């Protein structure tokens, strides 16, 4: 019998995209309008109204982080350098910058204050944290259980400042986020003091990317870009108009070219620790011996969000492969690879792990688990994989 490839798991939501027959020629389509119209276009999914306030919180946090990153080089801001004179290390053994800690607080507070979050997991937190529901405690204690069961609680995963080692040199950085629903069959129980058990937090957080309801990133560069996918069918790009403080739709329905510009984006210093097929592929495209016959060029920022933004717009391939030193590479599945994979697929690209598996189908068993990964134009990613056969 011939083996058949397993169909990829379907996405969590099947949404109708909003249409915009009328657009103000002066204001354009703002992110807030897009999110509101998404909820209006899908009246049979009332939970989208809850996501509106979650998105408002994420948007607000990203604007604040954009401002912080932009003013950081001004000495009096006191924002550059390491946290606590270099003494602070996160749970993954990485030095924390002041801005890693501050941006984590900004995002965490914004999400907490949305009143819709049950659990948050961040690169800069040792373990997922429960969000005590103050409003419920204060205003409606009897209803808490019901509200949780009605699925109005969300789980957020995020990397508040991706590429933070670059920040002192004014090189682009980003924020990555993903929003899940509280998983089916998992009920988060609040204790009398409003806290949530570690196990409940963990169960809620360890979901595969195909369960995401919204994911996106914000890129802090010459301009601030916000790229988001609601439901995973389309990918929308917005730019911050600083004069009015609003994100405006600038790249509707982003579609990555099937075969990109001849660009590869990998940390080539690791070349001699890579697997041989990957080395052979990169050597071939460097020499112009790949499928296109074109000589590829290298672009690598060391800030994934920037490298991914370019890859979405121009195509090509970006990856952080595992190697003999770090078999699972460097990037974290839950709050880096999975949200980016969600966007990449929504834009028509591919996002695969070290064995060619779909990143969105990988179920994490650890919050800070790393995953070997490749993202990009389908033909480029497939060409790379062909060296493994």
Binding site for ligand AHG (CB under 6 A): 94, 123, 159, 162-165, 267, 302-304, 320, 330
In the complex with ligand AHG, the residue whose CB is nearer, 163 or 257, is 163
Asked if 364 and 208 touch (Cβ cutoff 8 Å), the reply is yes
In the complex with ligand AHG, the residue whose CB is nearer, 211 or 330, is 330
Q: Which does residue 302 touch among ligand AHG, Mn ion, none (CB within 5 to 8 A, set by kind)?
A: ligand AHG
Least distance in angstroms from the C-beta of 346 to ligand AHG:
20
Distance CA(312)–CA(161), nearest Å, equals: 20
Distance CA(308)–CA(375), nearest Å, equals: 8
In the complex with ligand AHG, the residue whose CB is nearer, 260 or 319, is 319
Asked if 161 and 105 touch (Cβ cutoff 8 Å), the reply is no
Of all residues in the shown chain, the one whose CB is closest to Mn ion is 162
Least distance in angstroms from the C-beta of 331 to Mn ion:
7
User: For helices 47-71 and 98-113, what crossing angle results, to 10°?
Assistant: 150
Least distance in angstroms from the C-beta of 372 to Mn ion:
15
If you write DSSP's letter for every residue of 138-171 in order, what string do you get? HH-GGGHHHHHHTT--EEEEEEEEETGGGGGGT-
Q: Which does residue 278 touch among Mn ion, ligand AHG, none (CB within 5 to 8 A, set by kind)?
A: none
Least distance in angstroms from the C-beta of 336 to Mn ion:
5
Distance CA(50)–CA(218), nearest Å, equals: 21
Least distance in angstroms from the C-beta of 138 to ligand AHG:
36
Least distance in angstroms from the C-beta of 227 to ligand AHG:
15
Q: Which does residue 29 touch among Mn ion, ligand AHG, none (CB within 5 to 8 A, set by kind)?
A: none
In the complex with Mn ion, the residue whose CB is nearer, 19 or 269, is 269
Distance CA(302)–CA(305), nearest Å, equals: 9
Least distance in angstroms from the C-beta of 229 to ligand AHG:
19
C-alpha 272, offset from chain centre: 29
**Which residues sit opposite 263 in a β-bridge?**
297
Least distance in angstroms from the C-beta of 330 to ligand AHG:
5
Nearest residue to 215 via CA among 240, 246, 247, 181 = 181
In sequence order, which residues have a C-beta less than 8 Å from that of residue 227 and are 6 or more positions away? Answer: 216, 217, 218, 219, 235, 236, 237, 238, 251, 254, 309, 312, 343
In the complex with ligand AHG, the residue whose CB is nearer, 123 or 246, is 123
CA distances to 51, 96, 118, 131, 200 from 189, in Å = 21, 32, 10, 11, 7
In sequence order, which residues have a C-beta less than 8 Å from that of residue 244 and are 6 or more positions away? Answer: 27
In the complex with Mn ion, the residue whose CB is nearer, 48 or 106, is 106
Asked if 299 and 313 touch (Cβ cutoff 8 Å), the reply is no
**How many residues in total does the chain contain?**
389
Asked if 281 and 290 touch (Cβ cutoff 8 Å), the reply is yes
In the complex with ligand AHG, the residue whose CB is nearer, 32 or 267, is 267
Q: Which does residue 303 touch among Mn ion, ligand AHG, none (CB within 5 to 8 A, set by kind)?
A: ligand AHG
Instruction: State the residues that interact with Mn ion by CB under 5 A.
Output: 123, 159, 161-162
In the complex with Mn ion, the residue whose CB is nearer, 81 or 348, is 81
In the complex with ligand AHG, the residue whose CB is nearer, 159 or 203, is 159
Least distance in angstroms from the C-beta of 155 to ligand AHG:
20
Residue showing tokens 């996160």: 90
Q: Which does residue 267 touch among ligand AHG, Mn ion, none (CB within 5 to 8 A, set by kind)?
A: ligand AHG
Q: Which does residue 330 touch among Mn ion, ligand AHG, none (CB within 5 to 8 A, set by kind)?
A: ligand AHG
Q: Which does residue 56 touch among Mn ion, ligand AHG, none (CB within 5 to 8 A, set by kind)?
A: none
């Amino acid at each position: 019998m011939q083996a058949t490839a397993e169909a990829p798991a379907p996405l969590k939501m099947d949404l109708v995209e909003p249409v915009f027959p009328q657009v103000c020629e002066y204001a354009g389509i703002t992110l807030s309008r897009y999110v509101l119209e998404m909820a209006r276009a899908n009246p049979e999914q009332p939970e989208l109204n809850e996501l509106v306030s979650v998105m408002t919180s994420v948007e607000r946090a990203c604007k604040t982080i954009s401002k912080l990153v932009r003013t950081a080089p001004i000495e009096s801001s006191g924002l550059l350098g390491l946290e606590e004179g270099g003494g602070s290390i996160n749970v993954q053994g990485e030095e924390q910058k002041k801005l890693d800690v501050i941006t984590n607080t900004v995002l965490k507070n914004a999400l907490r204050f949305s009143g819709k979050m049950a659990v948050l997991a961040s690169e800069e937190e040792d373990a997922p944290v429960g969000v005590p529901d103050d409003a419920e405690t204060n205003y409606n204690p009897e209803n808490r259980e019901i509200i949780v069961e009605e699925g109005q609680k969300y789980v957020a995963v995020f990397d508040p400042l991706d590429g933070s080692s670059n920040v002192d040199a004014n090189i682009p950085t980003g924020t990555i986020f993903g929003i899940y629903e509280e998983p089916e069959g998992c009920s988060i129980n609040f204790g009398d003091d409003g806290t949530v058990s570690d196990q409940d937090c963990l169960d809620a957080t360890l979901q595969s990317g195909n369960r995401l309801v919204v994911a996106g990133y914000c890129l802090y560069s010459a301009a601030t870009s916000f790229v988001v996918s609601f439901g995973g069918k389309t990918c929308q790009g917005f730019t911050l108009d600083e004069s009015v403080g609003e994100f405006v739709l600038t790249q509707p329905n982003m579609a990555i070219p099937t075969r990109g510009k001849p660009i590869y984006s990998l940390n080539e210093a690791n070349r001699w620790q890579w697997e041989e097929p990957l080395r052979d592929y990169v050597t071939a495209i460097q020499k112009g011996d790949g499928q296109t016959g074109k000589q590829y060029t290298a672009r690598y920022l060391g800030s994934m969000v920037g490298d991914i933004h370019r890859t979405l717009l121009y195509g090509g391939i970006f990856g952080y492969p595992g190697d003999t030193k770090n078999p699972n590479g460097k990037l974290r599945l839950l709050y880096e690879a999975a949200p980016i994979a969600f966007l990449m697929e929504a834009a028509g690209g591919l996002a695969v792990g070290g064995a060619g598996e779909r990143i969105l189908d990988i179920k994490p068993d650890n919050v800070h688990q790393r995953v070997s990964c490749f993202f990009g134009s389908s033909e480029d990613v497939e060409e790379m994989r062909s060296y493994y056969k």
